[in-house]
């Protein structure tokens, strides 16, 4: 099988597995819409920084192996796995998330305070992306070799990781004041 | 001079014997949102302010005011 397909299938598989495990863990928890929204909102606040750490550690692996001689297939698989994770995280950042939940629960989770926190996180993500782009641009002026793929990786990593961390911080603060 | 939107949500909520969760359910938001508005961490929209005032039986001006 083509290495691109393996990476793509692996990335999608991990996402589906995580969603299924999360759903299975809540199978015996009868909750009202409000209780469920509260539960999921708290869980999201805990998950966001952890997702940022996983995402960043994936970038460390990528950059530590990108120029080393090794299997081209493994490299392609890594690229696809990274791309799938990036797209899923971007969708989670820009939509209500919790795609397998009922509409009422999803609407309640995405209430006014959550939207404000998410918008703030996206603003931070955009600013850090731009800062990373400027840094990469400046770096090339000093004769450093940065490929297009490396540059895209750096800019996306800065933006997504910053947005995840910022949103997580704001959500945790909102819950902590309770 | 910085301005702050102060409120008496907690005071009124306690008078009515409501928890944050119960008030949140009445206005259709999560407890987290009520908590952040109550603590002055989050400035609500006009829509939410009107809903909160209605749920607590007060006018918006009685529930919220600007502190300088």
Find the residue in B nearest to A105 (Cα).
B30
| B36:A177 CB<8 A | yes
Structure tokens belonging to residue B30: 């999560």
Q: Provide the 8-state DSSP code for B43.
A: P
Find the residue in B nearest to A171 (Cα).
B32
Q: Number of residue pairs across A and B with CB atoms under 8 Å?
A: 56
Find the residue in A nearest to B41 (Cα).
A174
Counted domains in chain B:
1
User: What pLDDT does A85 receive?
Assistant: 87
Q: Is residue B1 part of a domain?
A: no
Q: Is residue B63 part of a domain?
A: no
A74 contact B CB<8A: no
Q: Is residue B65 part of a domain?
A: no
B48 contact A CB<8A: yes
User: What pLDDT does B62 receive?
Assistant: 95
Q: Is residue B11 part of a domain?
A: yes
Question: What is the DSSP track for A40-52?
Answer: HHHHHHHHHHHHH
> Band of the pLDDT at B1, cuts 50, 70, 90?
low
> Band of the pLDDT at B32, cuts 50, 70, 90?
very high
What pTM does this model have? 0.82
* Whether complex ipTM tops 0.90: no
**Which CATH number fits the domain that encloses residue B50?**
1.10.260.40
| B33:A113 CB<8 A | yes
A111-146, pLDDT tens digit by residue? 999 999 999 999 999 999 999 999 999 988 887 788
Residues of chain B in contact with residue A174, where contact means CB-CB under 8 angstroms, are 32-33, 35-36, 41-42
Structure tokens belonging to residue A5: 């397909």
User: What pLDDT does A26 receive?
Assistant: 66
Structural domain boundaries enclosing B49? 6-58
CA end-to-end distance (rounded Å), chain B:
7
Structure tokens belonging to residue A6: 């393996």
User: What pLDDT does A120 receive?
Assistant: 97
Interface test with A, best of B30, B31, B39, B46 (most A CBs within 10 A): B30
Structural domain boundaries enclosing A119? 3-176
């Amino acid at each position: 099988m083509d290495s691109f397909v393996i990476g793509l299938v692996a990335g999608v598989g991990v996402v589906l597995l995580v969603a299924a495990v999360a759903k299975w863990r809540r199978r015996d928890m009868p909750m009202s819409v409000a209780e469920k929204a509260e539960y999921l909102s708290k869980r999201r606040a805990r998950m966001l920084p952890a997702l940022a750490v996983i995402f960043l550690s994936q970038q460390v692996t990528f950059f530590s192996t990108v120029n080393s001689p090794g299997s081209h297939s493994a490299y392609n698989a890594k690229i696809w796995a990274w791309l799938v994770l990036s797209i899923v995280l971007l969708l989670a950042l820009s939509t209500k998330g919790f795609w397998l939940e009922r509409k009422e629960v999803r609407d309640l989770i995405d209430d006014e305070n959550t939207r404000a926190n998410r918008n703030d996180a996206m603003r931070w993500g955009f600013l850090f992306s731009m800062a990373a782009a400027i840094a990469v641009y400046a770096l090339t002026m000093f004769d450093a070799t940065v490929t297009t793929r490396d540059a895209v990786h750096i800019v996306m990593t800065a933006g997504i990781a910053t947005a995840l961390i910022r949103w997580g911080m704001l959500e945790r603060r909102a819950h902590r004041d309770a | 001079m910085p301005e702050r939107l102060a409120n008496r949500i907690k005071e009124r909520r306690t008078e009515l014997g409501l928890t944050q969760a119960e008030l949140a359910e009445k206005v259709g938001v999560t407890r987290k949102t009520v908590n952040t508005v109550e603590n002055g961490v989050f400035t609500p929209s006009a829509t939410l302010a009107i809903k909160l005032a209605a749920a607590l039986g007060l006018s918006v001006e009685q529930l919220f005011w600007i502190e300088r």
